[in-house]
C-alpha cells in the first residue's frame, strides 16, 4: 500500500524541457544574482515575481520537507540554482497537480481537508509568472526559509516501539518496483487491556529510505480462511528466515485480515492526533503490523535500514470513541461471484454501496456519528475514485480522488466532519486502466489483483 515508483522524475517531463545555454549547461544564474524582471498577468497588469521574495517561501512550505539534503526526494530544491534547474518540470508537475502529492481534490468542490498539500491557483500562477519573467533571483540577502517545523508527540501516555535494526531493503521483490521494497514487521504493543489511540508519530530511521509507513491493527486469533492471522503471519515470516519480517504490498500480507489502518504516514508528516477528543480503540491482545515502504534511490546498494520508531499516544478513556473500519465491495465479491476487470480497458469501472452499519468491524451502539475522514485505496492500475454519502435523501460528495497515485496514500481528515447516521449510505466508484493487461483482473490483497477499498474514520456523537 505504497509505491512502486517514487522518483519525481517519472512524474515530470524529461529534462529535455529545461532551458539549455549555448555551452550545453542548464541556464542558471548565480545564487547571489540580483536580476529582476516582470511578467504580465492574465488581466494585462505587470506582476513582479522573484525567487527569494516569492518562490523560496513556496518551495520551503510545500516541497522542502522531501526535496532537501537527506530527504527521500531524488534532488534538492533548497537553492536558487536548484529552482532554476528544475523550473520547467516543477511548473508542469504543479499545474498537473501531481506535486505536491495530494491525490484528493481540495479545491472546495468536494470537501476540504486538513493539512492539505495543495497549492492555490494564485501560487501556481506565481511560479508560472516567475518563469515567464526569466526566473529573476531578487534579493539574495533574504535567504531561503527553513521548512515548517513538524509537530511532535509530547503528550502523556506515549509509548514508543520500533522496527528491527538489521533489515537490508531489497529492490525488485515486487514486480515493477525497481527501486522499492515493501516490508511488514510484526510489533506487539502488549496491551493487557483495551486502550485508545489518540495520537501517533513516525520517526523514520533514515529519511532517505523511508517513503511511507502504514500501521494495521490485527487480531492474531481472527481467521480469514483456513488459518488464523497468527499462523498466516508466522508462515510469511518464515518464508525469509534470514531477514526480519516479510515482503508485503497491498496490505499486511497475503492472508492477513486487518481490523483497520489507524496510522498512515508520509514524509513531512509530524505528530498526528485524532480530532475532537476522539480515539481509536486498540483491543487487548491486538498486535500491529508495520508496513514500511523503502525507496533505495538515494542510498548505496546493500545499505542497512536503521530502525523506524512508532510512537503511540494511548489513553484509558476518550471523550469520543473513534472507529477506523475498512470496506471493499470489489474484494468482498470473492465470497460470491468475483467481479473481474476486463483487460485492455482504459476506464474499467466498479461501484458499490453500503450503509455505515454494514461496514465490517464498524461496531458502535450510537446511531449518529461524525465522519472524520476517509482512506481511499487501489493498486497500481487505479486512476480515479469517487466517494459519495447519501444523507436524509440528499447526496453529499465525500471525496473526489481525481488523479489516483499509488505512490502517495494517506487518510484524509475533513476540515468539517460530516454528520451522518449509521443507516445512511456510502457509495463508492473506482476506475482502473487495464490497457497493459491481457487477462481479466480480479480482486486481491496482493500485487496481481486490484482493490476498491475505503477506510472510514467515524466518531460517535
Residue-wise pLDDT for 424-448, tens only, equals 999 999 999 999 999 999 998 665 7
**Residue 22: pLDDT band with limits 50, 70, 90:** very low
In angstroms, rounded to a whole number, what is the distance separating the alpha carbons of residues 30 and 426?
A: 55
More confident residue, 17 or 139: 139
**pLDDT over 80 (residue 184):** yes
**Residue 34: pLDDT band with limits 50, 70, 90:** very low
- Per-residue model confidence (pLDDT) at position 18: 25
Please say whether the beta carbons of 133 and 49 come within 8 A. yes
- Per-residue cell: 111: 470537501
Domains in the chain, ordered, with CATH?
Answer: 8-142 (no CATH), 158-318 (2.60.120.310), 322-460 (2.60.120.230)
Closest CA to 28 of 37, 39, 20: 20
Query: Which residue is it, cell 517519472?
Result: 10
pTM for the full model?
Answer: 0.74
- Per-residue model confidence (pLDDT) at position 145: 93
Phi, psi of 285 (to 5 degrees): 90, -15
Q: Environment class of residue 356 by beta-carbon count within 10 Å: exposed (0-12), middle (13-18) or buried (19+)?
A: buried
Closest CA to 428 of 295, 310, 326, 293: 326
- Per-residue model confidence (pLDDT) at position 11: 26
In angstroms, rounded to a whole number, what is the distance separating the alpha carbons of residues 274 and 197?
A: 8
- Per-residue model confidence (pLDDT) at position 23: 31
Q: Give me the chain's average pLDDT, please.
A: 85
- Per-residue cell: 228: 488464523
Residue pLDDT, tens place only, 131-153: 999 999 999 999 999 887 777 88
**Residue 268: pLDDT band with limits 50, 70, 90:** low
**Residue 239: pLDDT band with limits 50, 70, 90:** very high
User: Quick one: average pLDDT of 283-310?
Assistant: 92
User: Quick one: average pLDDT of 35-52?
Assistant: 56
Phi, psi of 366 (to 5 degrees): -90, 150
More confident residue, 177 or 303: 303
Closest CA to 373 of 104, 109, 151: 104
Amino acid at each position: 500500500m505504497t509505491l512502486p515508483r517514487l522518483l519525481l522524475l517519472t512524474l515530470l517531463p524529461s529534462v529535455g524541457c529545461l532551458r539549455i545555454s549555448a555551452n550545453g549547461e542548464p541556464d542558471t544564474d548565480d545564487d547571489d544574482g540580483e536580476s529582476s524582471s516582470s511578467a504580465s498577468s492574465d488581466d494585462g497588469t505587470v506582476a513582479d515575481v522573484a525567487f527569494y521574495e516569492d518562490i523560496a517561501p513556496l518551495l520551503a512550505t510545500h516541497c522542502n520537507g522531501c526535496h532537501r539534503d537527506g530527504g527521500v526526494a531524488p534532488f534538492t530544491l533548497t537553492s536558487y540554482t536548484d529552482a532554476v534547474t528544475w523550473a520547467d518540470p516543477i511548473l508542469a508537475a504543479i499545474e498537473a497537480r501531481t506535486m505536491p502529492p495530494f491525490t484528493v481534490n481540495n479545491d472546495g468542490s468536494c470537501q476540504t481537508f486538513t493539512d492539505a498539500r495543495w497549492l492555490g491557483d494564485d501560487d501556481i500562477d506565481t511560479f508560472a509568472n516567475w518563469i515567464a519573467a526569466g526566473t529573476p533571483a531578487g534579493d539574495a540577502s533574504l535567504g531561503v526559509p527553513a521548512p515548517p517545523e513538524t509537530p511532535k508527540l509530547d503528550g502523556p501516555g506515549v509509548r514508543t516501539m520500533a522496527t528491527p535494526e538489521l533489515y537490508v531493503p531489497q529492490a525488485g521483490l515486487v514486480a515493477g518496483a525497481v527501486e522499492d521494497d515493501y516490508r511488514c514487521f510484526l510489533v506487539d504493543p502488549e496491551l493487557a487491556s483495551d486502550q485508545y489511540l489518540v495520537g501517533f508519530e513516525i520517526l523514520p530511521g533514515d529519511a532517505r529510505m523511508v517513503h511511507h509507513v502504514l500501521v494495521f491493527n490485527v487480531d492474531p486469533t481472527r481467521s480469514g480462511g483456513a488459518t488464523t492471522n497468527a499462523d498466516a503471519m508466522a508462515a510469511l515470516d518464515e518464508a525469509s528466515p534470514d531477514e526480519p519480517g516479510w515482503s508485503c504490498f497491498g496490505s499486511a500480507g497475503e492472508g492477513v485480515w486487518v481490523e483497520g489502518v489507524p496510522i498512515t504516514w508520509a514524509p513531512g508528516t509530524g505528530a498526528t492526533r485524532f480530532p475532537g477528543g476522539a480515539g481509536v480503540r486498540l483491543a487487548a491482545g491486538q498486535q500491529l503490523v508495520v508496513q514500511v515502504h523503502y525507496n533505495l534511490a538515494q542510498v548505496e546498494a546493500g545499505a542497512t535500514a536503521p530502525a523506524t520508531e512508532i510512537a503511540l499516544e494511548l489513553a484509558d478513556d476518550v471523550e469520543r470513541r473513534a472507529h477506523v473500519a475498512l470496506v471493499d465491495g470489489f474484494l468482498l465479491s470473492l465470497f460470491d461471484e468475483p467481479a473481474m476487470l476486463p483487460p485492455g480497458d482504459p476506464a474499467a469501472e466498479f461501484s458499490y454501496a453500503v450503509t455505515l452499519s454494514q461496514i465490517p468491524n464498524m461496531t458502535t451502539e450510537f446511531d449518529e456519528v461524525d465522519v472524520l475522514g476517509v482512506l481511499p485505496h487501489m493498486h497500481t492500475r487505479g486512476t480515479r475514485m469517487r466517494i459519495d454519502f447519501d444523507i436524509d435523501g440528499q447526496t453529499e460528495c465525500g471525496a473526489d480522488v481525481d488523479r489516483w497515485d499509488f505512490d502517495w496514500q494517506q487518510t484524509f481528515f475533513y476540515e468539517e466532519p460530516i454528520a451522518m447516521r449509521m443507516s445512511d449510505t456510502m457509495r463508492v466508484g473506482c476506475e482502473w486502466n487495464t490497457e497493459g493487461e491481457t487477462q481479466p483482473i480480479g480482486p486481491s490483497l496482493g500485487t496481481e489483483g486490484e482493490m476498491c477499498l475505503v477506510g472510514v474514520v467515524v466518531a460517535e456523537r
